[in-house]
Structure 1
Amino acid sequence: MLFNKFFKHDTFHITLSKIAIRNFKTSKKINIGKLITKNKIKNHEKHSIEDIELLLHEKHHDVLESYPTIKNVNKIIDVNYLPVFKKNENQFNILNKIVLHFGDLTYLKGDAVVNGTNKVFELMKEGNGYDCSGNFLKTCGEELFNDMKNAKEQNKGKSIILTKGYRSSYKHIIHVVEPYYNQTQKLKNCYENVLLTAKDNNFKNIVFPLLGSGISLFKKHDVVISCLEGIYEFMKKRDNFNAIDKIILCTITDSYWMLLRDSIYIYLDINI
């Protein structure tokens, strides 16, 4: 079975085998094998990955034509109405729980949203360079900033703090300490720990920004793979799978969206 990748060079089309694609490097010396793991690709030999070189640049893509976006509107959308990325006939397929959303998480409504922050749980109205925008934090109101001072004192040494959603459209906010550059295992653990917190508090849906995509200096493919592998490690247990109805992955960056779109089958199209 061939694992195919098609791309144009002038008028020529080149087809690479499943083995060749893992070693293929673009002109930027990016190895496709870094985006896929050997033990998982076997179940997805027919999946086609687009030229990774395109995904590593902040260019405008025609994402809006293929996926709905909330932009400069006042309407709040309940995440229960967002369609899953792909409905699988097997009820225990992880993709049945995953939503990939291109848009501002400020305009979504759900049980919980994740705020990536630093080790002192710093909140800044201008945007703290992490992964919930200052715009979202401001919608929560002054009460969040005031209560966070007490919450930090009561949760010293912890990596997760749970607060109310205040004036935002979310019932709760899960604040999680992000690791820094190259600490990919810790980044994966962030997703597992946040999802465990959601399970323990009976949150049925949870909205994630892409943790590590702010000032934490992770490479883009590490951000995406850590996200998907962290979710997989949690969801592969049946009781965890049953505890969560929807996981919404939210981004406003087209290159991240495209990486997620092309990698999600490899990591999460799995029956548990």
Structure 2
Amino acid sequence: MTAISEKIHVVQGDITRVTVDAIVNAANNGLLGGGGVDGAIHRAGGSEILEECKKIREKQGGCPTGEAVITTAGRLNAKYVIHTVGPVWQGGKHQEAQLLRNCYQNVLQLADQYHVETIAFPNISTGVYHFPKPLAADISAEEVSSYLNEHKQSKINKVLFVCFDEENYRLLLEKTN
């Protein structure tokens, strides 16, 4: 096990219940909450998250696919929520893989800007956006490992992949061990 992999952990559970500096939200472009993990984070974190998302919408009109923005975490056991918009799977012919890679890169860069030491990721785009779970697992493990390897000065010392379902959990466990 390398020093990088010692920083990466895979757990199965509810991302709204973990204690970390930043929880990553698989948001939609409008940043107003929704279903899946996005809705769960907004419900658990409370209205403070939505209010900050509305301010971001007023300033920049939402969040483009592959990009990331940061808000308070409200009532969650975290300081921040980093919202990123994953791609909707369209057969792989519309740069979906690169857009998902961008999600991880932009989240990690934003986390470093805010001196985040511990961060929890959900399985971005693998729910209602129908991104193939095996490919998403490859991309998430590769991007996080590459980022930590290339950014030795990063303060991030623990990355949790919090998988809601058994399939994503098993796939990520295979990729990170």
Q: TM-score, normalised by structure 1?
A: 0.58
Give ranges in structure 2 of 5+ residues lacking alignment. none
Partner SS, residue 175 of structure 1? strand
Taking the aligned partners of 1:244 and 1:258, their CA distance within structure 2 comes to 24
SS in 1 for 2:21: strand
Deviations 1:67-97 (A, max 9, x none): xxxxxxxxxxxxxxxxxxxxx4x5xx21111
**Equivalent position SS for 1:194:** helix
- What SS does structure 2 have at the residue aligned with 1:211? coil
**Stretches of structure 1 lacking an aligned partner (at least 5 in a row):** 1-87, 266-272
Q: Tell me how far 1:133 sits from its aligned partner.
A: 4.9
Matched, 1:148 2:53: yes
Q: Which residue of 2 aligns with 1:120?
A: 30
| AA at the equivalent of 2:100 | L
**2:79 matched to 1:166?**
no
Normalised TM-score (structure 2): 0.87
1:230: how far off? 1.4
C-alpha offsets along residues 5-39 of structure 1, whole Å, 9 cap, x if unaligned?
xxxxxxxxxxxxxxxxxxxxxxxxxxxxxxxxxxx
Secondary structure of residue in 1 paired with 2:5: helix
Which amino acid in the other structure matches residue 72 of structure 2?
Answer: K
Partner of 1:224: 137
**Within-5 A mapping of 1:1-272:** 88=1, 93-124=3-34, 128-129=35-36, 132-156=37-61, 158=63, 159-181=67-89, 182=92, 183-240=96-153, 242-265=154-177
Partner of 1:75: none
Question: Compared with structure 1, are the counterparts of its residues 136 and 157 closer, same or farther at alpha carbon in structure 2 (3 Å cutoff)?
Answer: closer
What displacement does 1:165 show? 0.7
Deviation at 1:238, TM superposition (A): 4.2
Higher relative contact order (CA 8 A, sep 6+): 2
Query: Separation in 1 of the partners of 2:142 and 2:54?
Result: 33
Q: Aligned partners of 1:136 and 1:150: how far apart in 2?
A: 18
CA distance in 2, matches of 1:255, 1:186: 22
Q: What is the CA–CA distance in structure 2 between the aligned matches of 1:221 and 1:186, rounded to whole Å?
A: 16
May I ask how many residue pairs the two structures share in their alignment? 169
Q: CA RMSD in A?
A: 1.8
